[in-house]
Amino acid sequence: MSLHRDDPIVAIATPAGRGGIGVVRLSLGSWSGLAIAQRFIAKLCGKRDDFALEPRRGSLVAIGAADATVIDRGIALYFAAPHSYTGEDVLELQVHGGPVVLQMIVARSLELASSLVSADASANIAAMPFATMRLAQPGEFTERAFLNDKLDLAQAEAVADLIEASSEAAVLGAQASLSGAFSKAIEVLADQLIELRALVEATLDFPEEEIDFLEQSDARGRLARVREAFRALFERARQGALLREGLTVVLIGRPNVGKSSLLNALAEAEVAIVTPIAGTTRDRVEETVRLEGIALRIVDTAGIREFGALGDTVDDAADAHAVERIGIARTWDAIAKAHVVLHLVDAASIDAGIDPAFEGANREDEAIAARLPAHAARRTIVNKIDLTGDQPHIEGAPASDDDALDFRIYLSAKTGEGLDLLRRELLAIAGYQPSSETGFLARERHLAALRATQSHLDAASAHADQGDRMLELFAEDLRLAQRELSRITGEFTADDLLGEIFGKFCIGK
């Protein structure tokens, strides 16, 4: 943020709108603890100049306007530095939650700060800091908590995640991150890297000691254990990011396999047009639905097919299917951005003996599956079981989240049979846990740092495999891996990143 970080700041801390209670929060900046702060509080609360609020104890006060008329009566809570949310002197006024009342109290605070400066010559110097009192920027209270070492950066981000949580699982995950679970896991890994770095760098400082360092210190074993713990942490963070941000689920398959019907069934609304005509969907159709509070952005796409198999001449295909070709290209663009790809196939095509015409369709399905990217979780949806007599069920088990096309969910988008099986699978991919089990939330910023960490750990392992002659490169990649981990908690953080993070918070937090 570009504004001065030690200015006194004030803001309404409760959401916009009317309510029984509203809160105005003031953080008094670097001038915390000065007598002028108590004088300011006394005047704002309609008390004598020698009045002093007792920290952490509510006091009934009347907030007065400049002409001594009462704006509102409420409770004043004073938190003395450093034992406050921001680490500065903080005053919170709990009053009636009318928006005009709250705005009047904020305006009175700014007016009073200015008047204290010009009241008299003796007070002018002591009160001068209040000349800079201003409205708080979005997230500025939490940013000060970070800058004053009340929270690390991952915990500060968890404050916003807790406010924005839309499910019980997200609340518990955000609370776990806010309490320091994520930060602690990062810290443990960073400490292990520091310990290993110390051993390596001590060896580099004494090159005359001709020993096989990597063997004597079990450096390879230590690094292997760090990498194993890191993989577990990375997987939890990836699941936490999906839980926080939701899933982009892309429906793909040949024309007329029921993609639009499945979108409508999941959305419980007629979102997409459904007809027996193949190729009805020519562009992406999107709808966001929620399962257990987790956002699922469902994307219906144009059916994928090879035009050369349609029986048209090349010229006819080029003319008649130009729009469909564009739709198919956009389908692959959507697949590239997906968290989950649901590949729909016709239940009749699973057993080509039912209809030999499906032999060609099976080859097309195999070609589609072979082209799917590895980054997304992939599942096969066997649709239209209402036409084949199959019962809703699941076949197979995924070897991993990103390699599970043999994991088949049999359902009917038309009748709704088997949809609960699909919903449960999507929740599992999103990392949904019963309320008794808590993970932590993570952001894309965290995942980017973890990916960079993984790259340096992989490089360090490669250097270790080449023996002691690569110790300097080994040490450097350990250092870089530790630095990337530290970015998550904010030990290495640029000012512009702070502005980007806290600028997305609500005013008053």
Q: Where are the beta strands (DSSP E) in 160-291?
A: 247-253, 285-291
Per residue in 293-318, is it b (16+ CB within 10 Å) or e — as a string? ebbbbbbbbbbbbebeeeeeeeeebe
Query: Which pLDDT belongs to residue 144?
Result: 92
Least confident of 37-41, 70-74, 319-323: 319-323
* Distance, CA of 281 to CA of 298 (rounded, Å): 14
Which residues are CB-neighbours of 472 under 8 A, at least 6 positions away? 204
Nearest to 29 by CA among 78, 86, 76, 95: 86
Q: What is the pTM of this model?
A: 0.71
- Contact by Cβ (8 Å): 417, 411: yes
Q: What is the band of 307 on the pLDDT scale with cuts at 50, 70, 90?
A: very low
Tell me how crowded residue 35 is: count the other CB atoms within 10 A of its CB.
10
Query: Which pLDDT belongs to residue 254?
Result: 83
Least confident of 183-192, 260-269, 479-488: 260-269
- Contact by Cβ (8 Å): 150, 496: no
| Residues forming a β-bridge with 61 | 74
Instruction: With a cut of 50, say whether residue 241 has pLDDT above it.
Output: yes
Q: What is the tens place of the pLDDT at every residue in 362-421?
A: 677 777 777 777 778 889 999 999 988 899 999 876 545 445 556 889 999 999 999 999
Tokens of 357: 């015409």
Q: What is the band of 237 on the pLDDT scale with cuts at 50, 70, 90?
A: confident
* Distance, CA of 293 to CA of 171 (rounded, Å): 10
Taking CA atoms, 156 is separated from 137, 198, 280, 498, in Å, by 15, 30, 47, 11
Nearest to 64 by CA among 109, 20, 131: 109
Nearest to 243 by CA among 158, 332, 186, 309: 158
Angle at 469 between CA 467 and CA 474, to 5 degrees: 75
Per residue in 205-217, is it b (16+ CB within 10 Å) or e — as a string? eeeeeeeebbeeb
* Distance, CA of 290 to CA of 295 (rounded, Å): 5
Q: Establish how many alpha carbons lie within 13 A of residue 444's alpha carbon, considering only the half-sphere containing its beta carbon.
A: 3
Query: Which pLDDT belongs to residue 130?
Result: 62
- Mean pLDDT, the chain, rounded, equals 79
- Contact by Cβ (8 Å): 41, 103: no
What would the DSSP string read from start to end of 57-108? --EEEEEE-TTS-EEEEEEEEEE-TTSSSSSS-EEEEEEEE-HHHHHHHHHH
* Distance, CA of 401 to CA of 340 (rounded, Å): 9
Tokens of 214: 């990597």
Nearest to 129 by CA among 233, 234, 4: 4
What would the DSSP string read from start to end of 242-279? HHHH-EEEEEEESTTSSHHHHHHHHHTS--S---SSTT
Tokens of 242: 């999906």
What is the pLDDT averaged over residues 450-460?
A: 94
Which residues are CB-neighbours of 252 under 8 A, at least 6 positions away? 259, 301, 304, 331, 335, 341, 342, 343, 344, 368
Nearest to 312 by CA among 322, 302, 303: 322
Q: Where are the beta strands (DSSP E) in 198-350?
A: 247-253, 285-291, 294-300, 340-346
Helix (H, G, I), strand (E, B) or coil at 389: coil
Helix (H, G, I), strand (E, B) or coil at 16: coil
Q: What is the tens place of the pLDDT at every residue in 94-139?
A: 999 999 999 999 999 898 887 765 554 444 444 455 667 889 999 8
- Contact by Cβ (8 Å): 77, 91: yes
Percent of the chain with pLDDT over 90: 23
